[in-house]
Amino acid sequence: MKSKLLFLALAAFAQGSAFAGATIQFAEPFFGGIPSNLANASGAVTNGMKWGIVVDTSGNGFANSGSSYDFYAGGVNSAGFFSANGGTSDDYFIPGTVTVDASSLGLQEGDLSTVPGNGSIVDDLIFNPAYSSVTGLGIGDSFALIWFSSSTSAAGDKYGFFANPSFTMPSEGNPTSYGTPFAGTDPVRTASNTFQNPTLAPEPSRVMFLALGGLGLLMRRRRA
């Protein structure tokens, strides 16, 4: 009886506990597509650029459509929530590795004719904490590929952003491929978005308050 109770308790505990980790594969060598031709801010296809993914954890779309995040103090090697318009967003950044030259690695795409070259992604993105460790993160969340022109995320730095409907977070434990959008020769994708500095660009409402304040001071001076 005692062992039965112990067994039931363990089973119940097992059901309530967290699971961990997922592997996202953008590259499908000799099977599907391989992302390539990722370019820096100048449009030059570049190796050595840091990349990662941004996950829309609330399902409300990427902040500003992913086009103008605030600078990210965490840096390109640290996971965390991005900010936008001066406030924290629900978009969660997970770092990957760097772009490389796939042709030097002897890799081809599944059509056995496309040979991706510079600016390619060949590493998996391995996310090992349980999804539940990140607020809102879950299976089916949309994500986008992001790459950093100078491998930095300060205000004014440039980044590329590529979303696709097929990019949704997989179930944990399953290595999942996302190479289909990259089948065939990829267009050059330029890192054309800019990290913003919200302190240098006050919101319109703030500007209005400042203007009203200044006007008030001016009128008071005239009366005096």
Partner 1 sequence: MKRIQFAVALLAAYTGLIHAQVVTAPVGFVSVTVQPQSDVALGAPLNRAEEFQGVIQSISGNTLTVAGTPGWTANQFVYASGTQPKTYYARIDSGAKEGLIATISSNGTGSVTVTLPSGEDLTNISTNAALVSPATTGDSISIAPYWTPASLVTGVVAGTQLLVYPTNIPGINLAAVTYVFNGTNWLQGATNVNDVAFQFGQGLTLRNNSTSVQTISITGSVPMTGHRLLIKTLAATTRQDVRFFYSSPVPETIGNVGLGFAPGDQLLFTDNAATGRNKAATTLTWNGSNWLQGATVVTTTFQLQPGVSYIYRKNQTATPTNFVWSDLQSYLQ
Nearest CA among 17, 14, 10, 24 for reference residue 55: 24
Stretch that binds partner 1, among 15-23, 59-67, 69-77, 84-92 (CB under 8 A): 15-23
**125-127, strands of its sheet edge to edge:** 125-127, 22-25, 175-177
Applying CB under 8 A, what is the total number of residues that bind partner 1?
A: 39
For residue 14, the number of C-alpha atoms closer than 13 Å in the C-beta half-sphere is 6
Interatomic CA distance for residues 114 and 64, integer angstroms: 34
Q: Which is nearer to partner 1, 31 or 162 (CB)?
A: 31
Candidates 38, 45, 100, 146: give the one binding partner 1 (CB under 8 A): 100
Which residues in the 18-37 window bind partner 1 by CB under 8 A?
18-23, 25, 28-31
Minimum distance from CB of 131 to partner 1 (Å)? Answer: 10
Q: Which residues, 6 or more positions from 179, have their beta carbon under 8 angstroms from its beta carbon?
A: 25, 26, 27, 28, 31, 32, 33, 34, 35
Measured in degrees and rounded to the nearest 5, phi and psi for residue 79 equal -75, 150
Distances (CA, A) of 33 to 27, 143, 161, 169, 172: 6, 18, 18, 18, 23
The smaller minimum CB distance to partner 1, of residues 68 and 108, is found at 108
Of 54 and 100, which has the nearer Cβ to partner 1?
A: 100
Q: Which of 65, 128, 197, 199 binds partner 1 (CB under 8 A)?
A: 128
Interacting stretch for partner 1, rule CB under 8 A, among 74-82, 153-161, 166-174, 195-203? 166-174
Q: Which residues bind partner 1 (CB under 8 A)?
A: 3-4, 6-7, 10-11, 13-14, 17-23, 25, 28-31, 97, 100, 105-108, 110, 122-124, 126-128, 130, 172-176
